[in-house]
Structure 1
Amino acid sequence: MKIVADENLAFTDYFFAQFGEIQQVAGRNLTQHDVVDAEALLVRSVTKVNAALINKTALKFVGSATIGTDHLDISALEQQGIAWSNAAGCNAQAVAEYVITALLHLEPTVLDANQKFTLGIIGLGNVGSRLATMAQLLGWNVIGYDPFVQRDHVQQVELEELLAQADAISTHVPLTKTGAHPTYHLINSEAFATMKPSAILINSARGSVVEEAALIADIQSTGRKVVLDVFEHEPEISETLLNLITLVTPHIAGYSLEGKARGTQMIYEAFCKTFSFQSDKAFETQLPVGEQYFAQHDLKQTLKVYLHQIYDIARDDANLRTCLKDGKVDQKAFDYLRKTYPLRREWAAHGGPAA
């Protein structure tokens, strides 16, 4: 069979080469012509899988190696009888570690703050609940908001209470515009007014969860420290916004080697189920052994000594800032950063904990 795959998927050949011809493409520029005679399509979040893309094609399966589904027109897929799958939770550990790394980079002293430091987590799905566990391992006070789930290990509060109490706020929600609890512009001028001016905001979920105009106004007013891995108008990022944000990264919070490999394995398993193939491959067999930093010290001491070696987040910030051209981030340069990103290893590869 013919399989069309985003060129940035990890271990595509290992998982899929046995099933037929793999055509690797740039996911952001994918067209109906690319998939017209393909039976399977493997994508990431940069590809909008809609009726225009899938109409009058041979597609029987679409797999997205991502945790989100807002780039998939599920009703169009189901109307045409095309099986689909995403990879919910594949990079949850990587994102949780990203958030903690960003916080320790901005405020190293919080590593020893214990219960005096309150982390507020908006969204307690795969990522949010895992982040809560990791933060609790560091001794932090954790509060969470999620109207859809109840987590026994997290003290859950209303959104307004979380915004008012937290010393740092991290968003982990899908992008939704309808229903009782839409997340589009969830963090707006009213939310900023409720937050402490000293509270750090981290968005590694979806760009439009934070209203960009309100964010700019808030930073100009309060000087708030903000970490953005996603942007409302991504990949269009203005120089004005970039200069105001304390720490920026090019949508790579989940870009660990384990997370990428896990995502491909999850859609491989769904692919095999769809076509009645046996699934007998595991990504762990393909990974090199990591440097065992955590074997030498306890968790906090290891992070104090080796955090920069485990993940140099400042490098990602610097690399994105070099992409400015004519008042905004150059889209080709942005995509190139993501395409050539040197996948970092999760803490467990270095002997550390996994939630």
Structure 2
Amino acid sequence: MKLVIDANIPAADACLGHLGEITCLPGREITPNDVKDADALIVRSITRVDAALLEGSALSFVGSCTIGVDHVDLDYLAARSIGFASAPGCNAEAVVDYVLASLLDASEREGGDALARTVGVVGVGSVGGRLVARLKALGLEVLACDSPRAAREGDDGFASLDEVIARCDVICLHTPLVRDGEHATRHLLDARRIEALKPGTLLISAGRGDCVDGGALYRRLKEKGDITAVLDVWENEPAIDAALRERAFLATPHIAGHSLDGKLRGTWMIQQALTKHLQAPCGPAFDAICPAPALASLHLQEALPVNDALRLCSTAVYDPRRDHDTLARETRRLGVAKGFDTCRANYPLRREFATLEVTLGPRAQALEGVLRGAGFKVECV
């Protein structure tokens, strides 16, 4: 069996090597000639999987180690009886970590209380649902906005997007990209809605870049400068808008979900799907491919102010400012598109909040609830 796999998918050999011959290639460079004799193709979101890539190939299975599937022509695969699996939820915890770290960073730099914000979460699926749960565990007021779910389940518990814009001072976007139809999300935040954002709003976009009208956001940031933008996803990746990047408070190269844990979880989920498709023996268990973290624990003996404690534990695991600075440096050095892709291809090791155990001494145990709510393991001693 021949498998063609994106070279940036971790643990491919460990998870899938028992199934046959593996060829690893850069995801943006996979060609029809590369897959014509392959039995399975395993990709990430940067590879467009459609007739142009697959026509005439012998593929029987395509796997995407990602949450989203808008880079895959599912109708084409179905029409040709090519099996497909993605990895929904594989990196959802990492994206929530990114959002919380960005919120804490922005609040600290603006001199505000991160836990005194009203947050609107737009798109309440694998990522958004987890984000809502963690924000509520931290005691924040949260408005959930998901128009497809509201249409199916009723409006109770859901706010409209315009209500979120009117009431919230933090807005987090986690919708899939839907280009057409009643619940289209392309330019969900269009010029009108961007203009309607309250002064002081923190916008965190870590879902799909095309859901925000980048030109309109740039104009708001340039002309008024009264909102704050954290942007991990962009229109026209990797050739992103350099001027918009310079105006963003945090600008990162589509890496919100790039924890080692999330990547390995995605590979492992595709291994499970492919072995089921082939009716073949499974490879190693997830715990066998996931290493111990370099920083396993912190010990707090005194009760710091809540925001300080959260920021300390958050930055011990992940600081998005590092990714912001790296993107700025690499785009200056290599140009926008190449610098963007270089950041992603050479992304450093990053773990999730849940890999850190925070040990609390008797005088620090008032922090237990908020640290546990943020996603850290907590032990009181």
TM-score, normalised relative to structure 1: 0.93
Task: State the one-letter code of the partner of 1:292.
Answer: A
- Cα shift readout 1:207-226 (whole Å, capped 9, x = no counterpart): 11001111111112331210
Aligned to 2:57: 57
Q: Deviations over 1:213-250 (max 9, x none)?
A: 11111112331210111111111123311211111011
User: Which residue is equivalent to 1:204?
Assistant: 206
User: Residue 261 of structure 1: which of 261, 264, 268 is its match?
Assistant: 264
Give 1:249's match in structure 2, choosing from 233, 242, 252: 252
Report the identity percentage.
38
- Cα deviation code 1:247-290 (max 9, x no counterpart): 10111000011100111111111101110113253222222323
- Structure 1 residue 206 displacement after superposition: 0.9
The equivalent position to 1:166 in structure 2, one of 143, 165, 168, is 168
1:213 matches 2:215: yes
Match of 1:341 among 339, 347, 356: 347
Closer, same or farther in 2 for the Cα pair 1:101/1:155, shift >3 Å?
farther
2:314 paired with 1:307? yes
Structure 2 residue runs without a partner (length 5+): 359-371, 377-381
CA displacement 1:179-220 (0-9 Å, x = unmatched): 211000000111112221210111111111001111111112
Change (3 A) 1:102 1:261: same
Change (3 A) 1:213 1:65: same
Contact 1:111 1:138 (C-alpha < 8 Å) held by counterparts: no
Q: Which residue of 2 aligns with 1:237?
A: 240
**Rg (Cα) greater in structure:** 2
245-254 or 296-305, which moves further after superposition?
296-305
One-letter amino acid of the structure 2 residue matched with residue 312 of structure 1:
D
| Whole-angstrom CA distance in 1 between matches of 2:6 and 2:84 | 16
Root mean square deviation, CA, Å? 2.3
* SS of equivalent residue, structure 2 residue 102: helix
Deviating above 3 A after TM superposition, structure 1's stretches of 4 or more consecutive aligned residues are 109-114, 292-302, 352-355
One-letter amino acid of the structure 2 residue matched with residue 236 of structure 1: A
Q: Which amino acid aligns with 1:186?
A: L
Paired with 2:158 and 2:346, the residues of 1 have a C-alpha distance of: 39
Q: Partners of 1:123 and 1:44 in 2: how far apart?
A: 21
CA distance in 2: counterparts of 1:122 and 1:256, whole angstroms = 23
Q: CA offsets, 1:51-102, max 9 Å, x none?
A: 0111111100000000000000011111111001111111110001100101
Equivalent in the alignment of 1:24 = 24
Secondary structure of 2:84's aligned partner: strand
Q: Give the conservation status (yes or no) of the 8 Å contact 1:237–1:329.
A: no
Deviations 1:7-40 (A, max 9, x none): 0001101110001110000111111000010000
- 8 Å CA contact 1:37–1:58 kept in 2: the answer is yes
How many residue pairs match? The answer is 352
Task: Report matched runs for 1:51-200 at 5 Å.
Answer: 51-108=51-108, 112=113, 114=115, 116-149=116-149, 155-200=157-202
Residue 155 of structure 1 deviates from its aligned partner by 4.2
- The one-letter code of the counterpart of 1:338 is R
Range 298-307 or range 191-200, more displaced: 298-307
d(CA) in 1 for partners of 2:61, 2:291: 31
* Matched residue SS, 1:176: coil
TM-score by length of 2: 0.87
